[in-house]
Amino acid sequence: MEATFTLSILVNNSFGVLTRISGLFSKRGFNIESLTANPVEGTQQAHILLTSYGDEVTKEQIVKQLEKLHDVESVELVLN
């Protein structure tokens, strides 16, 4: 059963990182419901909150693919 889930993603705040994340979703046919990105004060990192939907397999696949991206420091699933 498909359900909405939210991911908390910590990334290096560098050129193109948001494009690579959204491209990952686009290439795999996943939809982004909402996206918020903010710089982390005093660091060279940014925090991204991303909401999407899918079943458990889709959710696991998205997390694994995000963790493979070079500029992604951590990915956490936020309980809804």
- Span 2-25, pLDDT tens digits: 899 999 999 999 999 999 999 999
pLDDT at 80: 65
Q: How many CB atoms lie within 10 A of CB 77?
A: 13
pLDDT at 52 over 70: yes
- Mean confidence (pLDDT) of the chain: 93
Arithmetic mean of pLDDT, 53-58: 91
Q: How many Å from the N-terminal Cα to the C-terminal Cα in the chain? A: 15
Q: How far apart are CA 3 and CA 59, in angstroms?
A: 9
Average pLDDT over residues 57-74: 94
> What does CATH list as the number for 3-78?
3.30.70.260
* CA distance linking residue 7 with residue 44, whole number of Å: 20
- How far, in Å, CA of 64 to CA of 69, rounded? 9
